[in-house]
Structure 1
Amino acid sequence: MAHFPDTPSFSGTLRPSRIEGDILDLEIEGQVPDQLAGTFHRVHPDAQFAPRFEDDQFFNGDGMVSLFRFQNGRIDFRQRYAHTDKWLLERAAGKALFGAYRNPLTDDEAVKGRIRGTANTNVLVHAGMLYAMKEDSPCLLMDPLTLESFGYTDFGGKLQSQTFCAHPKIDPVTGNLCAFSYGARGLMTTDMAYIEISPTGELVKEIPFHNQYYCMMHDFGVTEDYAVFTTMPLISNWERLEQRKPFFGFDTSMPCYMGVLPRNGDARDLRWFRTDNCFVGHVMNAFNEGTKVHIDMPVSANNSFPFFPDVNDAPFDPVAGRGYLTRWTVDMARNDDRLDRIERLVDVPDEFPRIDDRYATQAYRHGWMLILDTDKPYEGPGGAFYALTNTLGHVDLATGKRKSWWAGPQCAIQEPCFIPRSADAPEGEGYVVALVDNHVTNYSDLAIFDAQHVEDGPIARAKLPMRLRQGLHGNWADESKLAA
């Protein structure tokens, strides 16, 4: 008999849904632009069985992949679990066998040594496949339309790294998928690798190197010439696992680093630039102007994750944990190891930044993000960490002008995604899609916005007869990518 714990990770707005199914021709409010032809995939953690430990984390749920298929002004919906090794073993047993988040010491003896990944963090179409990813495990391959799972891949036996990141970037010039691995040679190792996968799915590059220390390496930046890594002290070690503490803890006494690796170099060409302690979030974009390398991301003065507490048990500070879109710049022509410049780009706390992906690795102008507007009222159930993502924002980095749309007192917004109006449309001309969750009525809408006028609100809503659990990341794939 299933019994999920009455904890913040499994109740209220984060109550598991575990629903697989299809809905043909979703109810539409407004009008979906006819030229939108393709898929929006996103994924959320959704444990198929109650956890072995009541204090387990939301991030430990099995990957549930959602597919919104756009064709001729209509949208179809499909949702399936990613069939990881973990999911298959537990389905056969009829119960949870894997223990606490990223802690193999808490697993049932029957699954010791098996791959613990959940494929619950990001999904992206590349080389005709849907890559389902979580950074502590290999990449899982799925069919982008049926959502059938094909299992983990090591890219024809060529990839040596044991893990694959959750935030790869597609280089619009080469078509290569640029990725990385951390804990590449095993849990708690400082081994990392920079990886490129060709447009046809072949491994073309794997550059091994070492990080400054073992820590969460969730996202990174790629420029035309460099891969850019930001290291912050959200750390872990075997002692934490033996004491069954949360896997990560934030250490305010340690410095942060920006690592810059020439994409056509090797570990000997990697340079680390040191900066003061802070928390770095998801990357909006990175680009280089000759030897000057820029990376844009939300940066906060202190830990942004209350569920990964301070290593010295300092209380969580929600104000210091608010991230602001910030640009870090280094000059590879200089000989010192300090950042050249730190520049705040927006004046509101924000997260989940996105761009027009046709400008990934390049100088760019337009960005979208979720704004954490604490001045707006909230009428949903208490304890909702994601209730603060209540506003969709657009920033024009050339003019500094910002526009925003508030979802209302009962709602939160999930990560946005940009869709170009056409393949040759100017940068930022197109649409933004994002799930809007009503925490009171328990329904979700896939909202579609004019990307240049988000302040006007959705031009259309695809209405779901349920609320999707809080997701992490997702991406758009044009119909041409599906045909490939």
Structure 2
Amino acid sequence: MAHFPANPGFQGAMRPLRLQGDILDVEIEGEIPADLDGAFHRVHPDPQFTPYDPNDQFFNGDGMVSMFRVKNGKVDFKQRYAQTDKWKIENAAGRALFGAYRNHLTDDPSVAGKIRGTANTNVMVHAGRLYAMKEDSPCLLMDPNTLETQGYTQFDGRLAAQTFCAHPKIDPKTGNMCAFSYMSKGYLTLDMSYFEISPSGEVLFEIPFENKYLCMMHDFGVTDDYAVFNVMPCITNLERLEKGMPYFGFDHAMPVWLAVVPRKAGASAKDIRWFKAPANCFTGHVMNAFQDGTRIHFDLPIAAKNSFPFFPDVTGAPFDPIGGMSYLTRWTVDLASNGESFDRIEKLTDQADEFPRIDDRYATQAYRHGWMLVFDVTKPYEGPGGAFMAITNSLCHKDLATGAEQTWWAGPQCAIQEPCFVPRNATAPEGDGYVIALVDNHVTNYTELCFFDAQRVDEGPFARAKLPVRIRQGLHGNWSSAAQLGQA
């Protein structure tokens, strides 16, 4: 008999959905451009069974992959579980067997040594496969059209790293997937590696190195010549696991670093430049990175204090929701310098924001347009669970050339999930196209895939694909053209 925990990660607007199925020809309000042809894949944590650990958290749910196939002005919807080893073992048993988030010490003895990954953090099409990713495990491959699970891969044994990141980047010049691994040689190790995967899916090279300390490494940036890693002290260790504490905790006494790794075969740890931030801070998802002569520009939201209440401060200090608000910021370091100091820090917006996205055709390059979710605490909220549940209530377009911003508020009952840019066509100028995002109504319990003019988001969606259910809060997703799906 299913009884989910009474904590906020499983109740109200965060109640698990656990629904697999298909909807052909989703109801449309407005008009979707007839020449828009591709798919939006995204994923959310959605436990198939009630948690083995009654105190478990949202991030530990099984990966549920959604696909919105857009063609001829219509939208078809498909949703399937990513059938990880964990999912298969528990499905066969008819109950949960793996314990708390990333803590193997809390597992049922019958699953000792099994891969615990949930493939619940990001999905991206590359080399004809859908990569379903969770950063504590190998990459899971799925069919991008049917969502059939194909299994974990080590790329024909050519990848030494045991884990795969959740935020790979595609270099638009080479078509290579740029990715990394942390704890790459085993549980709770400092080992990391940077690697690139060709457009046909082959590992080209891998660069092993060690991190400054053991911590969450969720996102990174890539320039023409370098991979750039923000290292913040959202730390973990064996003692935390043995005590049954949350897997990560934030340490405000530790430094924050930026690591610049050459993107070339044969590079090693001795070639890495480390730059130390002037103050401790919380670093979020990366919008973009690019080179300007010897300087590296690195754009990401930054908060003065911990942004994750579910990974509390190591001191036990209470969560500070205002200090935890993040703001898009540009870090600049100069490779021509002899020291480890930052060259410049520039705050790019006064709006609290997260989930930044760009026109991915300009990844690694100087760019003009960005989109992000805004936390507008001045707006009312009428849904369950308090205002925190609708914290991502607005969508913003940022013009970095002029500084101009356009913002659309989703309304008092709604929250917005991560946006995604879709070019109008393959040759369209930067930022010319659409932004798509799921908007969840926490009162009616419906979700809509909303379509915006990318540079006029303040006008609101010009079309909505209206689902008859509310999809659970997701993490990340990406758009793929019909050609990438093998359907051009």
- Bin for the TM-score computed over the shorter chain: over 0.9
Query: Amino acid of the residue matched to residue 60 of structure 2?
Result: N
1:339-354 superposed matches below 5 A:
339-354=342-357
- TM-score, normalised to structure 2's length? 0.98
1:51-79 alpha-carbon deviations (Å, 9 max, x no partner): 01221010000000000001111000000
- Show the counterpart of 1:358: 361
Q: 1:290 Cα deviation (Å)?
A: 2.2
Question: Over aligned residues, Cα RMSD in angstroms?
Answer: 0.8
Can you give the 5+ residue segments of structure 2 that lack an aligned partner in the other structure? none
In 1, the alpha carbon distance for the partners of 2:11 and 2:183 equals 32
TM-superposed deviation, 1:383: 4.1
SS in 2 for 1:351: strand
After the TM superposition, which residues 294-309 of structure 1 pair with which residues of structure 2 at under 5 Å, given as runs? Answer: 294-309=297-312
Q: TM-score scaled to structure 1, two decimals?
A: 0.99
User: d(CA) in 2 for partners of 1:344 and 1:54?
Assistant: 41
Alignment pair present for 1:273 and 2:275: yes
CA contact (8 A) 1:155 1:202 kept: yes
State the one-letter code of the partner of 2:62: D
- 2:164 is equivalent to residue 164 of structure 1: yes
Report the counterpart of residue 431 of structure 2 in structure 1: 428
How many Å separate the matches in 1 of 2:83 and 2:423?
A: 31
Q: Is the 8 A contact 2:8 2:385 kept in 1?
A: no
Hey, which bits of structure 1, 4+ residues long, moved more than 6 A?
none
Q: 2 CA distance for matches of 1:101 and 1:6? A: 17
What are the Cα deviations for residues 72-121 of structure 1, in whole angstroms up to 9, with x where unaligned? 11000000000000000000100000000000000011101110000000
**What's the offset of the Cα at 1:386?**
3.8
Distance 1:376 1:459 in 2: 22
Give the aligned residue type for 1:215.
C
Partner SS, residue 484 of structure 2: helix
Structural mapping, 1:97-176, within 5 Å: 97-176=97-176
In structure 1, stretches of 5+ residues that fail to align are none
**Separation (CA, whole Å) in 2 of partners of 1:192 and 1:408:** 42
- Residue in 1 that maps onto 2:51: 51
Residue 267 of structure 1 aligns to which amino acid in structure 2? Answer: A
Alpha carbons 1:230, 1:257 under 8 Å: kept = yes
- The separation in 2 between residues aligned to 1:109 and 1:421, in whole angstroms, is 52
The amino acid of 2:142's aligned partner reads M
- Alpha-carbon offset, residue 385 of structure 1: 3.7
Partner residue of 2:185?
Answer: 185
2:424/2:432 contact within 8 Å kept: yes
**Stretch of structure 1 that moved more, 183-192 or 467-476:** 183-192
CA contact (8 A) 1:7 1:54 kept: no
Shift of 1:266: 2.2
| Distance in 1 (alpha carbons) for counterparts of 2:186 and 2:58 | 24
Partner of 2:397: 394
Q: CA deviation at 1:428?
A: 0.2
Aligned partner letter, 2:138? P
Matches within 5 A, 1:15-414: 15-264=15-264, 265-275=267-277, 276-383=279-386, 385-414=388-417
SS at match of 2:80: strand
AA matched with 1:270? I
Find the aligned partners of 2:57 and 2:195 in 1 and give their Cα distance: 29
CA displacement 1:257-309 (0-9 Å, x = unmatched): 00001102322110110112100000000001121101100000010000000
CA distance in 2, matches of 1:451, 1:305: 29
Matches within 5 A, 1:460-471: 460-471=463-474
Task: Determine helix, strand or coil for the equivalent of 1:482.
Answer: coil
Tell me, what secondary structure is at the counterpart of 1:481? coil
Measure, in 1, the Cα distance between the counterparts of 2:376 and 2:203: 42
- C-alpha separation in 2, matches of 1:134 and 1:15: 21
Residue identity opposite 1:423 in structure 2: A
Instruction: Please give the alpha-carbon distance, in whole angstroms, between the structure 2 residues aligned to 1:201 and 1:161.
Output: 16
**In structure 2, how many angstroms separate the alpha carbons of the residues matched to 1:184 and 1:48?**
28
8 Å CA contact retained: 2:381, 2:387:
no
Question: What's the offset of the Cα at 1:216?
Answer: 0.4
Q: Is the 8 A contact 2:133 2:165 kept in 1?
A: yes
- Measured against aligned partners, the alpha-carbon deviations of 1:177-204 in whole angstroms (never above 9, x if no partner) come to 0000001011211100001000000000
